[in-house]
């Protein structure tokens, strides 16, 4: 839009960004000497793929390490790792959606555990048709996400405290309803066979997760809604000033995350052949570590889907290798906790250096 010139005045000079300037950062790459630009580009590429390189290095190490070389590089171990991480990957995606908008959702683990119990009980006690059980579990997760979204976006409650309270509430309801007992009888055999069957040497669950990941990537990276969520996460006040409906979009992020967590509960039932009285905490922390590790890869300083997948694999492969090498039981939680701390520190550092807005 051209500037309006008042009668009797000289035309106002129009300031344009230099050709090649980065719209997001305002930096001009064209005027930067190649000698200075080259190292910066190399450093950026190194940041993007360092986690992937570490993943490959860990795979190579445990493949030749004497204690694990016999079992780690086998197709059977690959299948086990991929199948076991299917639920964690979906939970990481469920965490990712609200995190992009700047909010935590610590209830996704408990939501998945509750959805698992719901699907198992509907089949075991009420002999409900399998598709209705799956739909009911996803709807349940959606309802939980909707409640979280309303509390956080409309009532302006702190997402950390709100979702932690929801997780505690759901965990208590699981214990009350199940009496601490595992539900394994009369589970639909079609669901159990789907959870244990393979396609192309990989568990079927992996292909379901892959489709959901593609949808999540498309939503966040290729749609105006996804780009708006990133804008909200970077600076909600600025996003509101440019016309983005911050409250509505934030609530939708929680809703989508809850729906994904509900689907994760169904896959958990399929994978285990039943439902336990677990509160979901054991699934939450590996997913958190994966999401923050993912913010150091592919798009350093930003939460992103494919970086999160690499983060899931990094944690899973490391724990699998340590277990096969004969590590004690305490190594798993210690590694997950250490990975989470390191990931948060690195992702926050990269976000601050990149100028991506609020620290992660």
Please give the average per-residue pLDDT across 44-51, as a whole number.
Answer: 75
Task: Decide the pairing of beta strands 202-203 and 198-199.
Answer: antiparallel
Residue 129 DSSP SS3: coil
28 pLDDT band, cuts 50/70/90, is very low
**Count of Cβ atoms closer than 10 Å to residue 170 Cβ:** 23
Between 255 and 183, whose confidence is greater?
A: 255
Confidence grade of residue 50 (pLDDT, cut at 50, 70, 90): confident
Tell me the average pLDDT across 42-64.
82
| 291-343 per-position pLDDT tens digit | 988 888 888 878 999 999 999 998 888 888 888 888 777 777 787 778 778 77
- Scanning the chain, the segments in alpha helix (DSSP H) are 34-64, 75-100, 108-124, 130-149, 159-178, 189-196, 204-222, 224-234, 236-241, 246-272, 281-294, 305-324, 331-354
Q: Which of 2-11, 30-39, 143-152 has the highest mean pLDDT?
A: 143-152
What is the distance between the alpha carbons of residues 267 and 81, in angstroms, rounded to a whole number?
15
pLDDT of residue 26: 37
| pLDDT, tens digit, 9 for 90 and up, residues 112-152 | 999 999 999 999 888 889 999 999 999 999 999 999 999 99
Phi, psi of 203 (to 5 degrees): -60, 145
> Quick one: 235 exposed, middle or buried, by C-beta within 10 A (0-12, 13-18, 19+)?
middle
Rounded distance between C-alpha atoms, residue 124 and residue 315, angstroms: 34
User: In a 3-state reduction of DSSP, which class is residue 183?
Assistant: strand
What predicted TM-score, i.e. pTM, was given to this entire model? 0.83
Alpha-carbon span 106 to 260, nearest angstrom: 14
Topology (CATH level 3) of domain 50-351: ABC transporter involved in vitamin B12 uptake, BtuC (1.10.3470)
């Amino acid at each position: 839009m051209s500037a309006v010139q008042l009668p009797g005045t000289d035309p106002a000079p129009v300031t344009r960004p230099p050709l090649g300037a980065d719209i997001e950062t305002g930096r001009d790459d064209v005027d930067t000497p190649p000698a200075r630009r080259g190292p910066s580009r190399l450093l950026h590429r190194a940041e993007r793929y360092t986690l992937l390189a570490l993943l490959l290095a860990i795979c190579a190490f445990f493949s030749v390490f004497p204690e694990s070389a016999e079992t780690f590089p086998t197709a059977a171990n690959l299948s086990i790792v991929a199948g076991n991480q299917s639920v964690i990957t979906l939970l990481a995606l469920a965490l990712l959606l609200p995190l992009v908008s700047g909010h935590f959702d610590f209830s996704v683990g408990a939501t998945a555990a509750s959805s698992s119990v719901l699907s198992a009980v509907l089949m075991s006690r009420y002999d409900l048709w399998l598709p209705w059980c799956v739909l009911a579990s996803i709807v349940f997760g959606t309802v939980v996400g909707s409640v979280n979204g309303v509390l956080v976006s409309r009532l302006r409650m702190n997402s950390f405290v709100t979702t932690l309270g929801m997780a505690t509430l759901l965990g208590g309801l699981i214990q009350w309803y199940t009496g601490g007992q595992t539900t394994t009888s009369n589970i639909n055999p079609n669901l159990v066979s789907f959870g244990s069957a393979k396609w192309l040497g990989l568990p079927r669950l992996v292909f379901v997760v892959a489709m959901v990941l593609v949808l999540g990537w498309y939503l966040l990276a290729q749609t105006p809604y996804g780009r708006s969520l990133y804008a909200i996460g970077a600076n909600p006040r600025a996003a509101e000033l440019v016309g983005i409906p911050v409250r509505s979009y934030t609530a939708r992020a929680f809703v989508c995350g809850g729906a994904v967590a509900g689907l994760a509960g169904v896959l958990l039932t399929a994978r285990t052949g039943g439902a336990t009285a677990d509160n979901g905490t054991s699934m939450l922390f590996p997913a958190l570590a994966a999401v923050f590790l993912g913010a150091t890869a592919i798009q350093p300083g930003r939460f992103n889907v494919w970086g999160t997948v690499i983060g899931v694999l990094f944690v899973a492969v490391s724990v699998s290798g340590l277990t096969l090498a004969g590590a004690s039981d305490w190594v798993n939680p210690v590694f997950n906790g250490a990975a989470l701390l390191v990931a948060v520190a690195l992702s926050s550092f990269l976000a601050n250096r990149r100028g991506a807005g609020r620290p992660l």
